[in-house]
Structures are given as C-alpha cells and as structure tokens.
Chains A and B, each alone.
Chain A
Amino acid sequence: MWAELAVTTAKVVVVALAMVTTVPIMVWVERRGAAFIQDRLGPNRVGPLGLFQPVIDVVKLIFKEDVTPAAANKGLYYLAPLISLGVAMVTFIVIPFGAGHDVSLFGVPLRGLIVAPDLNVGVLYLLAIGSLSVYGIVLAGWSSNNKYSLLGGLRSSAQLISYELAMTLAVLGVLMATGSLHLSDVVARQSGAVWHWNAVTQVIGFAVFLVAAFAETNRLPFDLAEAETELVAGYHVEYSSMKFACFFMAEYLNMATASALTVTLFFGGGTLPGVTLTGWLGLFVSTAVFVAKMCFFLWLFVWVRWSLPRFRYDQLMQLGWKGLLPLATLNLVWVGIAMTMGWLR
C-alpha cells in the first residue's frame, strides 16, 4: 500500500516535472528554431546560445502587471487559464513513456512509467480530458468582455469540436487494429518492425491525426483562435502576467502531449525495431527512444508554424468536415478490410 503510494507519487513527480520542463525548452527551441528558419540570430544574449532566455522570460512574466478588465466576468476570467493549464497538466498520465513491464520498484511494477493507476480506457481518458481544454479558451474569450476575444473563443469552439471528431475517428482505427483501449497494448502491437507501426499500416489515419493534432493544439496553420494579425491575440487578448503564462504553458504542454500521443499511437512508442531489451536497461532505452521520437514531432510543430500561412475560418471548417472526416472514415474502412483479410497481425 505505502510502497505503491510512494512509487505512484514518484512517478507523478518525475513525469510531471519532465513534461513541465519541456515548456522552457520548447520556448527556446521555438525562438531559436524560428530564427534559424528565418535566417536571423534569435535570442543569444542570456547564457550560451541564449539558453537561459526562457528563465528571463518567466521572471518577466511573473513581474508583469496583472491587469483585469473592469467589465470582465471575474470568476470565469480567473477560472479560464486554470482550466487550460489544469487540463494540459493531467492528460499525459496515461501515456506509456517506456517499456519495462518487467521492472518493479519496492515490489511495485512500474508498468512503462504510466502514471495513472490501472485505467483500462487510457485512450478514451486522454481524448475525454483533452476535449475539456476547449472550455479554457471559450471561457477566456467570453469572460474578457472583448469582441476580439469573443470571436477567438467562438472560432476555437467550432474548430475544436470539428477536429476532435476527425481525431477520434483516426484514433478509432488504431484501437480497432489493437483490439484494446490500453495504450501499452497499442505500443506492444507495433513493436518488432517499422512496418508494424500504425503510421505505416494506417497512413491516412496518421495524416488525419497529425493534421487534427495541429488544430487541437491551436498551432499555425490553425491558430485562428489567436490570429494575432486579425484578432489581435484572440481569446487571450485581455490576459497578462501569469494568467497569460498559464495559456502559454498550456499551449506547449498540449504540444508535448500531442507529440507523445502521436508517438504512442502511430510510431511504436518507446520501441526500437529490432532491439529487444529487458529490465532497467530496457526501461531507460525505451524511454530515451520515446523522448527522441517525441522531439521530432515537437520540432515538426515548430517547423510547420514558421513555414505556413494561416487558414481562414470557413476554409478550416471545410477541411475538417469535408476533408478530414471522410478520410478518417475511409481509414476505418481500410482497417476493417485489412483486419478481415488478415493483413494486419
């Protein structure tokens, strides 16, 4: 009992810290990456290669004046950033970061560093909690009592609902093939070879999922809720200081979660094709592999953001409903056929 509690607490602390640490790292990567893509230097004054820039950013954000609009709906105005950040902080607890089903600590099995206790609907939990993140944005947009933020909130509620549908359908293909809602099973099924990865067996589903993931994280080309050149800053135009920082952190945490989920569902999680390691070594190696794969997708987020223009609202809706949704359905049909014919193992 106590050992289990201690191990779970330790897992929570380690994984949460690791996820939160991605935020400053990603801020740095984003700024230096943007500079690299745009043929300029980027932050390079604070520390070597500007590495301590995020620290200074945090200090700046903490000491910024915290302004609350007089006409705002105070309760919801304070609640909104907390919802955003809170939802972003609890989604990753079902993700199996490493292998290591045979490793125990104090007699408690580590189960691939999944934080949550035995949750037999891991994927659904993730999608369900993730679907709540829209409330943070919508309430922020509404409670600020500002027309620009309201438009941002409206845009994002429509966007998130539309893309969640496509995303869920794409995930459904993976779940069908796996026959389980456990994310560890999803990973286990993809081990062994690259052509077992769902990204290979379900290319369409993967494409739909990736596009929807960009939309769900509100990143360019889908950052319509924010759209700084149209809606000034969209839903968080009235937020400053740490309340703004909450949204900011939530965006990067959501990116990290989306990357982790992509790796888990479509890129074989922590497995390395052709390598089978057990014990503690297996745990470490698979976690490292997982993080490496995750880094690629995190970079992809940055890369895409600085390469593409932004969609227009109606075009976004059209893509979601007329493009991604039929494609996701097509993917389901393909998985069904492939399973019946026995093409998938």
Chain B
Amino acid sequence: MELVVFYVAAAVAVVSALVAVSHRSPVVNVLSLVVTFFCVAVNYALLGASFLAAAQILVYAGAIMVLFLFVVMLLNAPSEQPTPEPRPVQRVAGLALAAITGAGALFLLLAVRVTPGVAPIDGNAVALGRLLVGPYLFAFELISVLLLAALVGALVLVKRKH
C-alpha cells in the first residue's frame, strides 16, 4: 500500500517537474511545480516526517508558489510564446550544471545507504526543533541572515525602479 503510494507520488513528481521546465505556458510551469511540491510532501509524509510534509505544502505550495503565480499573472504573457534560441554559453553552462548536479545525486545514492521505510528523523516537531536549534544552529541562523539580505536586496531593487 505505502509502496504503491510512494511510486505514484514519485512518478507524478518527476513528470510534473519535467513539465515545469519544458512547458511553454508560464502558468502551467508554476502549477506543475506546485504538483511536484505536493507529491514530495506526500513522500515526506510516507517517511513519517509529517511536520515536514505540512511545512512543505504550507510554505512552498501555499505561499511561495502563489507569489510566483502572482508575478506570472501580472506578466500576462501569451500562452504560446516562442522561446528564444538559447545562446551557446547558456547551453554549455546549463549542461555543465546538470552534469555536476547529476553526478552529486548519483554519488549520494551510491554512497549513502538509506533503509527504505524507516524515517531518518521523527515526524515530531519537537525533535525537529531540537535539531534546528541544536546541532544545526549555525546553519539555521546563517540561512536566516541570507534571507534577510535577500529581502533587503529585493527592497532596494524595487525602490530604485520608482
């Protein structure tokens, strides 16, 4: 039962992720990304990380992607927009990045043994909280500073326009 759900969710996630990068209509891109996030959340839930699953939907699907959609709707781009031919540099850079990411993913898959069906962390929010403010405190704080910087940067960009 769980295995069936996992495979369905994983397949949908992969397919919709492909749609997200390949479809021409920006609205469809955004929506397929939402579907991907949703499926990933389902997989989190299957792993027992229900807190993470809920947070995934709440933050990514429910807030961030809505902003994406907001911008895309404002753009009001025609659904059948011809994509401009990518420049050679873009092609090379894209392929290189894909190769690096792919190699990294492969390495992780081969090097790290994950026992299927066993949750690496408890779904309990308390445990997750302890991890975040315990061993990973530095990374956690660093990310919040990064986000703050991004926020300020966005503000500056917008202010300059007006």
A–B interface present (Cβ within 8 A): yes
Give chain A's interface residues, CB within 8 Å of chain B. Answer: 73, 76, 119-121, 124-125, 127-132, 134-135, 138-139, 141-142, 150, 153-154, 157-158, 160-161, 164-165, 168, 181
* Contact assessment for B62 and A128 in the assembled complex, using a CB-CB cutoff below 8 Å: yes
* Contact assessment for B73 and A154 in the assembled complex, using a CB-CB cutoff below 8 Å: yes
Q: Which residue of B lies closest to A147 (CB)?
A: B76
Q: List 17 A-B contacts (CB under 8 A).
A: A73-B27, A73-B79, A120-B51, A121-B50, A124-B51, A124-B54, A127-B54, A128-B62, A129-B57, A131-B62, A131-B66, A132-B62, A135-B34, A157-B67, A157-B70, A168-B58, A181-B51
Q: Which residue of B lies closest to A75 (CB)?
A: B28
Interface mask (B34-70 → A, CB under 8 Å = 1, otherwise 0): 1000000000000000110111011001110011011
List residues of chain B with CB within 8 A of the CB of A76.
27, 31
Given contacts A119-B50, A153-B73, contact A124 B58 (CB under 8 A): yes
Question: A129 CA to B34 CA in the complex, in Å?
Answer: 13
Q: How far is the CB of B151 from the nearest CB of chain A, in Å?
A: 13
Asked whether any CB of chain A lies closer than 8 Å to the CB of B109, the reply is no
The 10 closest A-B pairs by CB, nearest first: A131-B62, A124-B54, A128-B57, A128-B58, A128-B54, A157-B70, A121-B50, A121-B54, A142-B73, A157-B66
* Contact assessment for B124 and A120 in the assembled complex, using a CB-CB cutoff below 8 Å: yes
List residues of chain A with CB within 8 A of the CB of B149.
none
Q: Which residue of B lies closest to A126 (CB)?
A: B54
Grouping DSSP codes into helix (H, G, I), strand (E, B) and loop, the A interface class, with mixed when no group exceeds half, is helix
Question: A277 CA to B52 CA in the complex, in Å?
Answer: 37
Most-contacted residue by chain A among B34, B50, B76, B123 (CB, 10 A) = B50
* Contact assessment for A131 and B63 in the assembled complex, using a CB-CB cutoff below 8 Å: yes
List residues of chain A with CB within 8 A of the CB of B124.
120
Asked whether any CB of chain A lies closer than 8 Å to the CB of B139, the reply is no
* Contact assessment for B70 and A131 in the assembled complex, using a CB-CB cutoff below 8 Å: no
Q: Which residue of B lies closest to A168 (CB)?
A: B58
Q: Which residue of B lies closest to A130 (CB)?
A: B62
Given contacts A73-B79, A128-B54, contact A161 B74 (CB under 8 A): no
Contacts A73-B27, A150-B73, A157-B73 given; 4 further ones with Cβ under 8 A?
A124-B50, A124-B55, A139-B31, A153-B73
* Contact assessment for B66 and A160 in the assembled complex, using a CB-CB cutoff below 8 Å: yes
Asked whether any CB of chain A lies closer than 8 Å to the CB of B18, the reply is no
List residues of chain A with CB within 8 A of the CB of B79.
73
List residues of chain B with CB within 8 A of the CB of A131.
57-58, 61-63, 66
Question: A56 CA to B24 CA in the complex, in Å?
Answer: 45
Question: A146 CA to B27 CA in the complex, in Å?
Answer: 16
Q: Which residue of B lies closest to A129 (CB)?
A: B57
List residues of chain B with CB within 8 A of the CB of A160.
66
Asked whether any CB of chain A lies closer than 8 Å to the CB of B125, the reply is yes
Contact of B58 among A120, A127, A154 (CB under 8 A): A127
List residues of chain A with CB within 8 A of the CB of B55.
124, 128
List residues of chain B with CB within 8 A of the CB of A130.
62
Question: A76 CA to B61 CA in the complex, in Å?
Answer: 17
* Contact assessment for A157 and B69 in the assembled complex, using a CB-CB cutoff below 8 Å: yes
Given contacts A120-B50, A132-B61, A138-B66, contact A181 B73 (CB under 8 A): no
Given contacts A154-B74, A181-B51, contact A121 B69 (CB under 8 A): no
Interface mask (B74-117 → A, CB under 8 Å = 1, otherwise 0): 10100100000000000000000000000000000000000000
List residues of chain B with CB within 8 A of the CB of A141.
73
List residues of chain B with CB within 8 A of the CB of A134.
62, 66
Question: A132 CA to B59 CA in the complex, in Å?
Answer: 10
